[in-house]
Amino acid sequence: MTVTQKNLFPYGDYLNSSQLHMEPDEVDTLREGEDPADRMHPYLAIYDLQPLKAHPLVFAPGVPVIAQVVGTERYTSGSKVGTCTLYSVRLTHGDFTWTTKKKFRHFQELHRDLQRHKVLMSLLPLARFAVTHSPAREAAAEDIPSLPRGGSEGSARHTASKQKYLENYLNRLLTMSFYRNYHAMTEFLEVSQLSFIPDLGSKGLEGVIRKRSGGHRVPGFTFCGRDQVCYRWSKRWLVVKDSFLLYMRPETGAISFVQLFDPGFEVQVGKRSTETRYGVRIDTSHRSLILKCSSYRQARWWGQEITELAQGSGRDFLQLHQHDSYAPPRPGTLARW
């Protein structure tokens, strides 16, 4: 039997990328003969950070973003939904590659956000609205398959077909700069202005998180008070690299704190070590940072990714070196006193 859209997804309404079609004002073309690495953001970009919803320039101009749904994970949740599917999406932008995990409802939420964005932009008078990034011409003229709002998972063949639909849908949107640079899309892709700066290392883990205040370790001082009345939770954008992590204020883009990885680095997950449901605790010599995730699976995923980043290319910072320094020797590096 031929697999069609109707028998694959017999449930509910459909999401159709044609609803997000924009008349192009410019063509976002690649510049041939130029190394994509040369078009990535310079290190000085860290001094010109903007609010996350201000549509800052996140991706390098002329370098495509390619998505691939590489697998799925099925698990049973405690809610009435029953069995849920988690899609692993691998993304590539120049030399940067990263993986994010999304449920189907995340695709639906993204689609609704982009629809609202399109309607709002069409209602605003052009004379009063300044667009930082003009809409880009779509790379292909044919329509991509529609997506359902929900339904049962079905057989393995249906699941594989659904993966391909999601992959095509996302790649189609990523060819249009009007949607690619919108803050709902960058949040979905887990990227920011600090993602594609080669001098900061590879693309690490990023996303919106809630962090707990306190946890600083200052020699000679003892901080009392571990009750809920003694700390507060704040929403931040977390950026994890191989040798450090930082978090930013989403409303301003300002970097609030940087935590360097050192020999005291340790990651713990669970309520016993964090005193928080779905908590992740990141210990170093100068702070014990506690994060709150939305689910236990997300907490496990974040804890695993942070550990692999630090113990991978950043492992040299997790051991003592000459003169009991946590930083490895760097011969030939210029210094000034």
pLDDT digits (tens, 9 = 90+) for 116-146: 888 887 776 654 455 544 443 333 333 333 5
Higher pLDDT, 227 or 274: 274
Most confident of the following: 40-44, 295-299, 329-333: 295-299
Return the pLDDT at 118.
84
Distance CA 282, CA 110 (A): 30
pLDDT category of residue 151 using cuts at 50, 70 and 90: low
Residue 65: φ, ψ to 5°: -110, 120
Block residue for tokens 């919803």: 53
Stated pTM of the model: 0.78
Distance CA 253, CA 204 (A): 18
Domains and CATH numbers, the chain: 7-27+46-189 (3.30.1520.10), 204-320 (2.30.29.30)
pLDDT digits (tens, 9 = 90+) for 259-310: 999 999 999 999 999 988 999 999 999 999 999 998 888 999 999 999 999 9
| Token pair for 1 | 């039997």
Most confident of the following: 8-17, 71-80, 142-151, 289-298: 289-298
Q: Does the pLDDT value for residue 59 go beyond 90?
A: yes
Percent of the chain exceeding pLDDT 90 equals 41
- Which whole number is the average pLDDT over 39-46? 81
- Which whole number is the average pLDDT over 311-323? 84
Distance CA 249, CA 115 (A): 26
Return the pLDDT at 28.
44
- Which whole number is the average pLDDT over 53-76? 88
Return the pLDDT at 241.
94
Q: Does the pLDDT value for residue 90 go beyond 90?
A: yes
- Asked if residue 158 lies in contact with residue 85, where contact means CB atoms within 8 angstroms, the answer is no
Distance CA 162, CA 5 (A): 10
pLDDT category of residue 36 using cuts at 50, 70 and 90: low
Please report how many Cα atoms fall inside a 13 Å half-sphere around the Cα of residue 175, on the Cβ side: 18
Element housing 273 (H / E):
helix 271-274
CB atoms inside a 10 Å sphere around CB 211: 20
pLDDT digits (tens, 9 = 90+) for 166-214: 999 999 999 988 889 899 999 999 999 999 999 998 999 999 999 999 8
Q: Does the pLDDT value for residue 98 go beyond 90?
A: yes
Instruction: Name which of 208, 211, 192, 240 is nearest 93 in CA terms.
Output: 192
pLDDT category of residue 235 using cuts at 50, 70 and 90: very high
Return the pLDDT at 171.
94
Q: What SS3 class is residue 35?
A: coil
Please report how many Cα atoms fall inside a 13 Å half-sphere around the Cα of residue 58, on the Cβ side: 28
Q: What SS3 class is residue 65?
A: strand
- Which whole number is the average pLDDT over 67-82? 75
Residue 151: φ, ψ to 5°: 150, 175
- Asked if residue 250 lies in contact with residue 237, where contact means CB atoms within 8 angstroms, the answer is yes
| Token pair for 189 | 């892709």
Mean pLDDT of all residues in the chain?
A: 79
Return the pLDDT at 1.
53
Return the pLDDT at 141.
33
